[in-house]
Amino acid sequence: MLKQHRELSMSIRRTIENNEEAGIRPSKTYQSFVAAAGGHRELNFIEKDVKNYITREVRNVSEQEDAKEFGKSRAAFEYFGDVISFDTTYNTNRDNLVCGSFVGVNHHGQSTLLGCSLMKNEEIESFKWLFQC
């Protein structure tokens, strides 16, 4: 099938998005379309089109949403002047990694876990790298 004749309808796109959100692999999603249509030849797209759509559209939306949420957090910090602390008082037993937690205190006085890290050591360079990330 020529590339210019391949397309994903709106209902196909919605099914791909729902399956991706549910954790269904692209190959299984494509196989379900093949089964419903009665064979590969009955579809006007190929498995690669499903994978490309997920990579290009579905995951791109997630990255944009993450960026938007990060922007909201920065805006809240600017507006409310929230407090963020970093604590490395816990060690993991099995791998002997230093567990660090980023805890914020918002304008209501509530503690909020913002993130955590596992570090191999507590050297200055490790902390510089972590805070830059």
Q: Looking at the structure, do residues 70 and 40 belong to the same domain, yes or no? A: no
Residue 81 lies in a domain: yes
Residue 50 lies in a domain: no
Give the chain's domain count. 2
The model's pTM: 0.47
Residue 98 lies in a domain: yes
Q: Which domain holds residue 127?
A: 65-131
CATH number of the CATH domain containing 99: 3.30.160
pLDDT at 30 over 90: yes
Q: Which of 23, 21, 43, 22 is nearest to 32 (CA)?
A: 43
Give strand pairing partners of 105: 83, 111
Angle (nearest 5°) at CA 19 between 17 and 25: 115
CA distance 128 to 111: 24
Instruction: Judge whether 86 and 116 are in contact, CB under 8 Å.
Output: no
**What pLDDT, in 10s, does the model give residues 49-58?**
999 888 887 7
**What pLDDT, in 10s, does the model give residues 72-131?**
767 766 666 666 778 887 666 677 788 888 888 776 777 888 888 888 888 888 888 888
